[in-house]
Amino acid sequence: MTSPAIREIALTGPGSGPYAITTGPDGALWLTLAGTGGVARLGRDGSVRTYRTDPAESRPLIITTGPDGALWYTRSGDHRLGRITVEGDVSSVALPPGTGPCGLAVGPDDALWYAGMGNDTIGRVTADGSVTTFPLPVTGGFPSMLAVGPDDALWFTLNQANAIGRIDLDGEVTLHGLPTEAAGPVGITLGGDGALWFVEIAAGQLGRITPDGRVEEHPLPDRAARPHAIVADPAGGCWFTEWGANRIGHVDAAGRITAHDLPTPGSEPHGLTVTRDGTVWVALEIGAVAHLTP
């Protein structure tokens, strides 16, 4: 169904490839620009600033507010974590060659944890730039996104190993296989029900895993929708993007799934975030941002 509540805001234009979005400590929305390198800032007044000092081939992916009050983001193309303050000062931390970092989250230990999709590792970076890596017991697993669980561990998706992983703060890893073969899990978030919710981009399903490893799968009405990212909402459900179907989806606390078409065809929705007032903001690869007010 088409929702009249969805609006789009022009951001950085074609080719810039907005990929992930988060709310910064300044109340503005910050996005990675996977196509051109660098990040963009969308102010509450609608003003747009871009910061493109990173190489174009750096291919930034996930962005989050770090424990030091700066924005940190993964640079999958040149194997670094980027850092930018709200004033626009840019720096970076080098990771091991071949890391290809994707997912990023702040752990309960106030360190940044990333998913090394290029070298089958989970890594930890302190605010002062100290790097520790933990090898995973898989080869070619393609660790993608990660989120903090209710058990003070990091949970992550293994896109090519068809599993959800858990790593504690000491680096001990546990893997949980998925019922559907070649499901291709990507985005993951901690839901309001105390479980981790994730999307299966290849299977067209949502997944739910409890801290003790029990997995449930929920097929989408459109199995070809290619769900990509997922984030919890204040009401106990989750919002997710349907990259292949040009929609924003929602699952409520009872498991009911609804979907909302985006106004521009082929806008390629990727990352999304929910602000305190419940508004859903989505990064669109065409160079724009969509927002939906429930």
278: Cα within 13 Å, side-chain hemisphere: 8
Under 8 Å between Cβ of 120 and 139: yes
Active-site choice (79, 228, 250, 270): 270
Q: Tell me whether residue 250 is one of the annotated catalytic residues.
A: no
**Residues recognised as catalytic:** 270
